[in-house]
Structure 1
Amino acid sequence: MTEQLGDGELLVAVGRVGKAHGVRGDAFVEPWTDAPDERFSPGSRLTTEPADRGPLTVESSRDHSGKLVVHFAGVDDRNAVEALRGTVLLVPAGARPVIEDPDEFYDTDLIGLAVRTVQGRQLGAITDVLHSPAGSLLAIDVDGREVLVPFRTEFVPVVDLAAGIAEIDPPDGLLEL
């Protein structure tokens, strides 16, 4: 999920507030980031969607039986946490670590790229990136229908973020399904 602030700054979702844990204002948080320790470290300030529920500042965070538990400053009881339940937590896209590998991308950077085949046929835009045990798939809107393309070099040989395009070389019949 991405969102843009009024000043044009792009925000990316890093998690969602879940149910309360205990009675002192702790909340389970579903992390949507590879770096939850960094994103939810004490002092981290998070923008929220809906906006009127934040911003929220992390006071503390910890692991509890494999789940992330966060205490936000000023959220000191179970009712206050329940009022935040479902809130999406966002950070500026520029705050993400730079990816060094030229073949690695943030999902949010791929969504919205125009897609064309290696032969030049314009298809549509990437609408989502799905992750499965077998690998990642790009969801592409092709004439109003969703087509899933394996996000592997042999099927997606070109991703040019600066130009806003991705080129695909789909297996025979994929676009006709």
Structure 2
Amino acid sequence: MSPSQSTDHSSDGKDPQQRELLRVCRIGRAQGLKGEVNVYSYTDEPGRRFSPGAQLETGEGQVFTVVRSRRFKQRWILLFEGVEDRNAAEALKGRELYVEADPAKDLADEDAWYLTDLIGLEVRMAPGNTLGLPGGRKVGTIRDVLDGVAQQQLEILMDGPEAGDADGSDEDIPTGLIPFVEQLVPEVKPEEGYITIDPPGDLLPGLG
């Protein structure tokens, strides 16, 4: 699959409409003394995007080549070519890195999707969920995909008798956030119009 939300930044002077860049990660603090950095991943393909030899770039066009990578809990630790000590690593903190979007045909061939494709999908309870609710029951709609500290979060517009006011606005509809991780979001089916969730009882309003 392909990484998360897109941006119109162009790194080589081309018309941004001709070259779509997708945000992959944000560089955090240095790790150790030999140039490694922690990164907060925005991609659902970290194994591919952070593999040795992969090239990531800033919105201004500076290219970083991955020398090695490893996963630690909810984050990744990378070493980039030319970044050889802690001072150089600390200087990169806060930079966001991108890759060029995959061609639309490739996405179709791989049955892949971008995170922005999730907005508007139905949210259904997963079969055998820990709350004991009927599998397949619709409980809401994805309103947005938000950046979290360690991973994206799905903002869910919850279903319920109070959903919407007299003028059709959704301002008074309860919303909730669920981390976009496989344990809590076991199925993602954009082409079929839904995702399934298996949240703990205190995570989303109206469930439990």
Q: TM-score, normalised by structure 1?
A: 0.59
CA displacement at 1:100 relative to structure 2: 6.2
- What is the RMSD computed on CA atoms of the aligned residues? 3.5
Q: Which residue in the other structure is 2:67 paired with?
A: 59
User: Is 2:19 the counterpart of 1:9?
Assistant: yes
Cα distance in structure 2, aligned partners of 1:105 and 1:14: 15
Preserved contact between residue 14 and residue 31 of structure 1 (Cα < 8 Å): yes
**AA paired with 1:31?**
S
Classify the secondary structure of the residue corresponding to 2:77.
strand
User: Is 2:134 the counterpart of 1:129?
Assistant: no
Equivalent residue in structure 2 for 1:98, among 81, 84, 107: 107
Cα distance in structure 2, aligned partners of 1:65 and 1:110: 25
Preserved contact between residue 23 and residue 78 of structure 1 (Cα < 8 Å): yes
Cα distance in structure 1, aligned partners of 2:147 and 2:24: 16
**Match runs of 1:108-119 below 5 Å:** 108=116
Cα distance in structure 1, aligned partners of 2:57 and 2:157: 33
Q: Which residue in the other structure is 1:140 paired with?
A: none
Change (3 A) 1:101 1:76: closer
**AA paired with 1:17?**
I
Q: Which residue in the other structure is 1:36 paired with?
A: 46
Q: Which residue in the other structure is 2:85 paired with?
A: 77
Q: Which runs of 5+ in 1 are unaligned?
A: 112-126, 138-147, 153-170
Q: Which runs of 5+ in 2 are unaligned?
A: 1-5, 120-142, 172-208
CA displacement at 1:23 relative to structure 2: 0.6
Quote the sequence identity (%): 36
Cα distance in structure 1, aligned partners of 2:54 and 2:110: 26
Following TM superposition, the consecutive aligned residue runs of length 4 or more in structure 1 with deviations greater than 3 angstroms are: 99-102, 108-111
Cα distance in structure 2, aligned partners of 1:11 and 1:84: 20
CA displacement at 1:98 relative to structure 2: 1.4
Preserved contact between residue 12 and residue 108 of structure 1 (Cα < 8 Å): no
Aligned residues, how many?
129
CA displacement at 1:107 relative to structure 2: 2.7
CA displacement at 1:4 relative to structure 2: 3.2
User: Is 2:169 the counterpart of 1:175?
Assistant: yes
Classify the secondary structure of the residue corresponding to 1:24.
coil
**Bigger strand fraction:** 1
